[in-house]
Amino acid sequence: MRIPLAVLGSTLLLASSALAQVPAEVEACRLSGLAALKERSPSLEHLTFDIQSLAISKADTKVEDTPIRMVVMGEAYLQREKSDKPNRFICLISDKGKVVLTFFTEQ
């Protein structure tokens, strides 16, 4: 009985530490994306990023005069169930941590 509990405890610890490593900018992308999607679909309540699909890249580029320091790409679910088809998204973050663009597309 102690071994399964120890395995479960270590699994939960690893999962929580993996989530803790996701930059705060990812949550900023999710919140700004949800706000933009709610403008078009006010009934939308949830936007969930698939943490396993995230590609988080540091960048040193510009969009016109706006410096871009991070690009986040991955899959997002517009409802809680993962049985829904995921949407791909891309999010650009400026040098000040501000979300410049969040774009969603159906696969």
Q: Tokens 């040193």 appear where?
A: 60
Q: Please report, as a single letter, which amino acid is at residue 70.
A: M
Query: Which residues is 88 bridged to in the sheet?
Result: 75, 105
| 96 DSSP assignment | T
Q: How confident is the model at residue 10 (pLDDT cuts 50, 70, 90)?
A: very low
How far apart CA 63 and CA 43 sit, in angstroms, is 32
pTM, whole model, 2 decimals? 0.73
Give the three-class secondary structure for 103. Answer: strand
Tell me the pLDDT tens digit for each residue of 17-71. 445 578 899 999 999 999 999 998 888 888 999 999 999 999 999 999 999 999 9
